[in-house]
């Protein structure tokens, strides 16, 4: 719930009061007033996700309200849904949610709230971040998050808090080792494929012979001068570790640069612990 300003206008008077606005009130207002939902373009409240009872294959979707991707309609439900990623979509809770085919291993799936023009809302999984195969009768959609399957087509466990998605068990994503003075490479990290997100990574840098070496991270489209994260190691067998933030590209990549080596070797390690996904909010 949120507190919003309510403005009531009568001839010669304007009253301004504070009122608690729920998702249900907002949807009721839009319906009763026949208001064009485009003025709420990008709005998203609720629709939190979590691993379901069958944590390997099910996702629970909390109640919520959002404008659809085109901004012209509102998707709203007041009940919790459970959808199965290992079964093709069937309308309703505790039923299949996959848009097409069979669930694949080591694959990113995007979660959508979908709707019909009569107000029916359901949820869908798709490998496409923008163009899921829509079930018959459903024309409205809004991406609300992303999940990843493992080598057995099970959903990696995660925890969502608002726009933050946290791995329950982070794994090593990238190891870069060089004996050269510097090296720059673009590496894939465990963040959603098809969208750009702000990844929070556990990073470490080690050097063998005491040179003042550095690790820099940046979005692959940026130049070396535009790095947005840095670690340094400056003494014999020194190392540095910490959490750094870096925007990914839509291929789940970041660019890592190691520099400053005179002799020996240096190694940089990266592991995504969580990511921030605004999910197209305005």
- Give the pLDDT confidence of 11-47 residue by residue, as tens digits: 444 444 455 555 555 555 544 444 444 446 688 999 9
Decide if 124 is inside a domain: yes
Q: Structure tokens of 108?
A: 């990113």
Q: Which domain holds residue 246?
A: 174-276
Residue 226: what pLDDT? 73
Same domain, 184 and 147: no
Domain of 191: which CATH number? 2.60.120
Domain of 63: which CATH number? 2.80.20
Q: The pTM is what?
A: 0.83
Question: Exposed (0-12), middle (13-18) or buried (19+): which is 151, by Cβ within 10 Å?
Answer: exposed
Decide if 23 is inside a domain: no
Total domains, the chain: 2
Of 1 and 208, the structure prediction assigns the larger pLDDT to 208
pLDDT classification of 233: cutoffs 50, 70, 90: low
Decide if 5 is inside a domain: no
Same domain, 135 and 207: no
Mean pLDDT (whole number) for 90-108: 97
Same domain, 89 and 48: yes
Residue 129: what pLDDT? 97
Decide if 281 is inside a domain: no
């Amino acid at each position: 719930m949120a507190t919003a300003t309510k403005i009531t206008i009568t001839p010669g008077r304007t009253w301004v009061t504070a009122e608690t606005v729920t998702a249900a009130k907002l949807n009721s207002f839009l319906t009763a007033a026949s208001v064009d939902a485009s003025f709420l373009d990008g709005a998203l409240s609720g629709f939190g996700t979590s691993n379901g009872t069958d944590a390997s294959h099910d996702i629970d979707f909390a109640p919520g309200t959002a404008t659809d991707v085109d901004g012209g309609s509102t998707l709203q439900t007041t009940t919790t849904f459970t959808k199965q990623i290992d079964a093709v979509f069937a309308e309703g809770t505790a039923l299949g949610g996959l848009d097409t085919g069979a669930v694949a291993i080591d694959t990113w799936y995007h979660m959508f709230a979908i709707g019909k023009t009569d107000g029916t809302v359901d949820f869908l999984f798709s490998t496409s971040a923008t163009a899921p195969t829509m079930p018959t009768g459903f024309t409205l959609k809004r991406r609300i998050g992303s999940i990843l399957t493992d080598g057995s087509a099970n959903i990696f466990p995660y925890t969502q808090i608002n726009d933050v998605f946290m791995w329950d068990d982070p794994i090593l994503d990238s190891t870069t080792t060089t004996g050269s003075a510097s090296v720059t490479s673009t590496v894939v990290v465990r963040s959603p494929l098809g969208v750009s997100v702000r990844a929070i990574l556990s990073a470490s840098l080690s050097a063998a012979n005491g040179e003042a070496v550095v690790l820099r991270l940046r979005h692959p489209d940026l130049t070396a001068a535009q790095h947005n994260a840095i670690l340094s190691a400056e003494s014999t067998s020194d190392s540095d570790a910490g959490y750094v933030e870096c925007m990914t590209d839509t291929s789940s990549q970041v660019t890592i640069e190691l520099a400053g080596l005179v002799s020996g070797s240096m190694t940089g390690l990266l592991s995504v612990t969580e990511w921030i996904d605004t999910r197209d909010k305005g």
